[in-house]
């Protein structure tokens, strides 16, 4: 994968300086093939660094990736936090592995922090990945702690619950000092579990489900069904904005938009009645299964949560699954609505999901949706339309877009913007 131009980590002492420590997530559970997961993680990191505006470098220590470059550290931190597969993201400095350099950097780091605002207490923790280092970890911590105390006598030491924990990680050639742990997105690198197709509506649930799937290592493309020609394009705009938001966390996936309105009408005319919503969902799943064969997806992902609404009862989910030719994954199956909304807020999709739209599911929805759609009745309705032809027509008219690819971060913040079509 081509990414940001990479320069090797500089060796000379003069160029040591700011960097970012990225602690690996579940990769550490992997055995012999761990390097493949690490390569994938680094490929994804390179994609996330695209367009950052300067050269960057990446290197690996044990279960840690070190990131640096000729760009402000805050910008590196912001990009790294988008990437799935890191447990934590830590602004850090890199110094040669000598006690003098480490001590100087430790004192400087705390002095800088104290200059920014009052620091209530501190502690120093050290870890040697290089056992050749002449001092033991506890001795390094005690030594550096004592020097900090000399330089900043008013700064209290608090070993149990310090406000600032200065962490020192000693490798053979260089040592990393960090003082903040920002949570990462954890999980497995996107792409390490294969590809999936996310059924993306404009609501809260499906984008949250999509990111959860990505955090289990699935590279995701998206499909959105609009009610066109009977609805306005608002739901497409939302799906585009949501896919763009999700694409910040992976090498961008494509959004496929399919106008379902006419096919929905055909089901209604075929007498779907109270089965209408489940029959539509089956048509979506059937069409998505066929589309997945084109995109290389091995599974479908939906935002269903068991029992949340009438269309998501166990019986209706089973009826929907029967129309799929691929596994239907439901990452939110056991989640409460409030948990889903909280997560949507945390990942930045809630502000888009809350916008009003004309959703295809509202179109032709019966006043009461059946909670136990029977397969024989569904099949009877479907028999009255030529399903293969309907799916074929839907796929012939799919619009393909690539939301968020090569966009600058400023454009991301602009909210919903007009979808741009790409050739498939």
Binding site for Mg ion (CB under 5 A): 201, 203
Report, in Å, the least distance between residue 288 CB and Mg ion.
15
Complete DSSP assignment for 74-137: HHHHHHHTTSTTEEEEEEEEEEESSHHHHHHHHHHHHHHHHHHS----EEEEEEES-TTSSS-H
Q: Which residue is nearest to Mg ion (CB)?
A: 203
Report, in Å, the least distance between residue 199 CB and ligand ATP.
3
Selection from ligand ATP, Mg ion, none that 316 binds (CB < 5 to 8 A by kind) is none
Selection from ligand ATP, Mg ion, none that 220 binds (CB < 5 to 8 A by kind) is none
Selection from ligand ATP, Mg ion, none that 206 binds (CB < 5 to 8 A by kind) is ligand ATP
Of 40 and 330, the one with the shorter C-beta distance to Mg ion is: 330
Selection from Mg ion, ligand ATP, none that 302 binds (CB < 5 to 8 A by kind) is ligand ATP
Cβ-based neighbour number of residue 194 at 10 Å? 12
Q: What gap in Å lies between CA 198 and CA 387, rounded to an integer? A: 22
Report, in Å, the least distance between residue 206 CB and Mg ion.
7
Give the 3-state secondary structure of residue 56: strand
Of 180 and 308, the one with the shorter C-beta distance to ligand ATP is: 308
Both structure tokens of 128? 């040697």
Closest CA to 198 of 215, 189, 211: 211
Of 201 and 226, the one with the shorter C-beta distance to Mg ion is: 201
Selection from ligand ATP, Mg ion, none that 56 binds (CB < 5 to 8 A by kind) is none
Of 110 and 361, the one with the shorter C-beta distance to ligand ATP is: 361
Check if the beta carbon of residue 92 is closer than 8 Å to that of residue 176. yes
Task: Give the interface with ligand ATP as residue ranges (CB under 6 A).
Answer: 199-201, 203-206, 224-225, 284, 302-304, 308-309, 311-312, 360-361
Closest CA to 324 of 379, 283, 273, 384: 283
Report, in Å, the least distance between residue 251 CB and ligand ATP.
22
Q: Which residue is nearest to ligand ATP (CB)?
A: 203
Check if the beta carbon of residue 335 is closer than 8 Å to that of residue 363. no
Of 167 and 206, the one with the shorter C-beta distance to ligand ATP is: 206
Selection from Mg ion, ligand ATP, none that 199 binds (CB < 5 to 8 A by kind) is ligand ATP
Check if the beta carbon of residue 423 is closer than 8 Å to that of residue 400. yes
What does R_g of the chain's alpha carbons equal in angstroms?
A: 26
Both structure tokens of 77? 């931190």
Of 168 and 360, the one with the shorter C-beta distance to ligand ATP is: 360
Of 110 and 242, the one with the shorter C-beta distance to ligand ATP is: 242
Give the 3-state secondary structure of residue 223: strand
Q: What gap in Å lies between CA 222 and CA 202, rounded to an integer? A: 12
Selection from Mg ion, ligand ATP, none that 319 binds (CB < 5 to 8 A by kind) is none
Report, in Å, the least distance between residue 43 CB and Mg ion.
33
């Amino acid at each position: 994968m081509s990414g940001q131009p990479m320069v090797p980590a500089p060796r000379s002492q003069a160029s040591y300086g700011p960097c970012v420590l990225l602690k690996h997530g579940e990769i550490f559970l992997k055995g012999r093939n761990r390097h493949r997961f690490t390569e994938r993680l680094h490929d994804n990191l390179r994609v996330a660094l695209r367009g950052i505006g300067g050269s960057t470098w990446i290197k690996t220590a044990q279960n840690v990736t070190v990131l640096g470059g000729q760009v402000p550290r805050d910008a590196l931190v912001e990009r790294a936090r988008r990437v799935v597969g890191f447990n934590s993201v830590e602004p850090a400095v890199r110094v040669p592995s000598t006690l003098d350099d480490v001590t100087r950097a430790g004192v400087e780091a705390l002095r800088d922090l104290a200059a920014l605002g009052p620091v209530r207490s501190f502690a120093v923790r050290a870890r040697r990945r290089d056992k050749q280092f002449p001092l033991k970890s506890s001795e390094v911590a005690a030594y550096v702690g004592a020097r900090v105390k000399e330089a900043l006598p008013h700064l209290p030491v608090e070993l149990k619950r310090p406000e600032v924990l200065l962490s020192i990680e000693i490798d053979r050639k260089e040592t990393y000092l960090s003082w903040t742990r920002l949570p990462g997105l954890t999980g497995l690198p996107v792409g390490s579990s294969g590809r999936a197709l996310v059924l993306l509506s404009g609501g809260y649930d499906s984008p949250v489900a999509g990111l959860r799937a990505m955090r289990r290592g699935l590279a995701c493309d998206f499909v959105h069904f609009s009610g066109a020609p009977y609805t306005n394009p608002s739901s497409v705009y939302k799906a585009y904005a949501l896919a763009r938001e999700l694409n910040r966390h992976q090498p961008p996936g494509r959004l496929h938009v399919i106008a379902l309105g006419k096919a929905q009408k055909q089901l209604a005319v075929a007498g779907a009645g109270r089965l209408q919503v489940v029959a539509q969902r089956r048509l979506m799943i059937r069409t998505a299964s066929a589309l997945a064969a084109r995109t290389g997806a091995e599974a479908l992902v939906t935002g269903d949560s068991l029992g949340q609404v009438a269309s998501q009862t166990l019986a209706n989910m089973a009826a929907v699954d029967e129309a799929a030719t691929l596994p239907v994954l439901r990452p939110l199956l056991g989640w409460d609505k409030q948990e889903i909304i909280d997560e949507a807020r945390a990942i930045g999709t809630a502000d888009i999901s809350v916008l009003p739209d004309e959703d295809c599911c509202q179109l032709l929805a019966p006043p009461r949706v059946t909670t136990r759609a029977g397969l024989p009745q569904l099949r009877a309705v479907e028999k009255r339309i030529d399903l293969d032809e309907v799916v074929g027509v839907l796929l012939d008219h799919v619009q393909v877009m690539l939301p968020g690819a090569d966009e600058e971060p400023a454009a991301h913040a602009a909210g919903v913007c007009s979808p741009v079509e790409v050739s498939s």
